[in-house]
Amino acid sequence: MLSSDLLSQILGTTLVPTDLVFAPDLIVVALASRAESAPCPICGQRSDRVHSRYRRVIADLPICGRQLALILRLRKFLCPNAGCPRRIFCERVHGLAATHARSTTRLAQLQRMLGLALGGEPGSRLAGELAVPISGDTILRRVKAVPAVPLRVE
């Protein structure tokens, strides 16, 4: 197995690592999509007509006590469906991060769990020690973002 395939599996994505930078407190992994086409999020038709490229930076769980930043080089495609209201759409990274999110789903889950267990400011202090710095207010927003499950009364 190639090391880039192994890293892709560890990160849980089909994106291919293109660069790796180590800093004292930070590891940066640059990733690019290897998919030849992407489905339009509105009509579902696949397109391989690239309109432009864009960069997205998202934080992930730390590695060896260092913060991990993923720099995704993604594409915008032209929708081939003339009847679709969306002419241009962005490539999605399913399973890694929500649309427009600046952290991976797994990092957001960890931060939410810290908020549920400790609250805002104490969770923020522990998060800093775990190399996933976040403000107390953001931890509370993560907790509030998940709808409460109603209790079942029997």
Binding site for Zn ion (CB under 5 A): 40, 42-43, 79, 81, 84, 86
Shortest gap between Cβ of 52 and Zn ion (angstroms)?
A: 17
Shortest gap between Cβ of 43 and Zn ion (angstroms)?
A: 3
Rounded CA separation 42/11 (Å): 27
Burial of residue 85, with CB atoms counted within 10 A of its CB: 0-12 exposed, 13-18 middle, 19 or more buried: exposed
Return the number of the residue (42 or 50) whose C-beta is nearest Zn ion. Answer: 42
Cβ 76 vs Cβ 53: under 8 Å? yes
Other C-beta atoms lying within 10 Å of the C-beta of residue 71: 16
Q: Supply the Cα-derived Rg of the chain in whole angstroms.
A: 18
Shortest gap between Cβ of 76 and Zn ion (angstroms)?
A: 13
The amino acid sitting at 43 is C
Query: Concatenated DSSP letters for 49-73?
Result: -EEEEEEEEEEEEEETTEEEEEEEE
Shortest gap between Cβ of 89 and Zn ion (angstroms)?
A: 7
Shortest gap between Cβ of 86 and Zn ion (angstroms)?
A: 5
Return the number of the residue (50 or 116) whose C-beta is nearest Zn ion. Answer: 50
Return the number of the residue (50 or 63) whose C-beta is nearest Zn ion. Answer: 50
Closest CA to 73 of 15, 10, 26: 15
Return the number of the residue (24 or 85) whose C-beta is nearest Zn ion. Answer: 85
Return the number of the residue (80 or 133) whose C-beta is nearest Zn ion. Answer: 80
